[in-house]
């Protein structure tokens, strides 16, 4: 069956299975990237990173070593994922979302271990939100654009503002 001007469904299925790395991306040796994941231009992925299948990593994303990303995750442009960030399946990370891993940073002083941030299945983070370290964002939670998240966010919670506050619990189907 014709899918789009001369492109067959079979071709589309094969294309989905293969990972795609843009010629202007830098993927360091050792980085694990799953089937069907697309890595676009000016992305830099360090060698210890683990990225699942079917993800979309947009232009100008930086991913450090101790980072684990699940399947079908979308990471929009301008996001940096530092050591200690754990992103589960089906998460949406909006443009210019900022993660952090050091609560009291000082130049050239490094903690023995960077703090973890966990974003659970199906959560979405709006554009330009800032997530402080050692935070867990619950399943299907929705973080409003520009929020500064200073506390854990429960499953299905919608939070907005600086500091972010709960404004609604979402229905399970959303
Ligand atoms: C959080 C969000 C999902 C809420 O959408 P919604 O359910 O339609 O909520 P509403 O627009 O009805 O807003 C509810 C209240 O929260 C406020 N609010 C909504 N989003 C807010 C935000 N990001 N920051 C601060 N306040 C916000 C509204 O002003 C409104 O307050 P009011 O009742 O005093 O007027 C949405 O506003 C948002 O931020 N989406 C993220 C968009 C984004 O970044 N997309 C990235 C892809 S480009």
Q: What is the DSSP string of 110-148?
A: --SSPPPEEE-TT-EE-TT-EE-SS-EEPTT-EEPTT-E
Is 53's C-beta closer than 6 angstroms to any atom of ligand 1? no
Å from CA of 129 to ligand 1 middle:
12
CATH architecture of the region 14-102+113-169: 3 Solenoid (2.160)
Q: pTM of this prediction?
A: 0.92
pLDDT tens digits for range 4-43: 555 666 655 555 679 999 999 999 999 999 999 999 999 9
The domain segmentation of the chain, as residue ranges, is 14-102+113-169
Q: Which of 67, 62, 28, 33 is nearest to 49 (CA)?
A: 67
Is 78's C-beta closer than 6 angstroms to any atom of ligand 1? no
Rg (CA), the chain: 17
At 1 the pLDDT is: 37
Separation in Å, CA 173 to CA 122, 156, 169, 170 = 11, 10, 12, 8
pLDDT tens digits for range 136-152: 999 999 999 999 999 99
Q: Whose CA is nearest to atom 47 of ligand 1?
A: 94
pLDDT tens digits for range 62-117: 999 999 999 999 999 999 999 999 999 999 999 999 999 999 999 999 988 899 99
């Amino acid at each position: 069956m014709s899918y789009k001007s001369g492109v067959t469904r079979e071709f589309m299925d094969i294309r989905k299975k293969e990972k795609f790395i843009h010629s202007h991306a830098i993927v360091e040796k050792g980085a694990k990237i799953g089937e069907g994941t697309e890595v676009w231009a000016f992305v830099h992925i360090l060698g210890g990173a683990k990225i699942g299948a079917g993800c979309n990593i947009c232009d100008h994303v930086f991913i450090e070593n101790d980072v684990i990303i699940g399947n079908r995750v979308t990471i929009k442009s301008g996001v940096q994922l530092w050591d200690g960030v754990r992103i589960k399946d089906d998460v949406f990370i909006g443009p210019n979302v900022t993660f952090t891993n050091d609560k009291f940073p000082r130049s050239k002083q490094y903690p023995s271990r960077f703090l973890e941030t966990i974003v659970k299945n199906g959560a979405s983070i709006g554009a330009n939100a800032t997530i402080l370290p050692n935070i867990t964002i619950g399943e299907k939670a929705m973080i409003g654009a520009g929020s500064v998240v200073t506390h854990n966010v429960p499953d299905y919670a919608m939070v907005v503002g600086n500091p972010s506050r709960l404004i609604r619990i979402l229905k399970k189907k959303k």
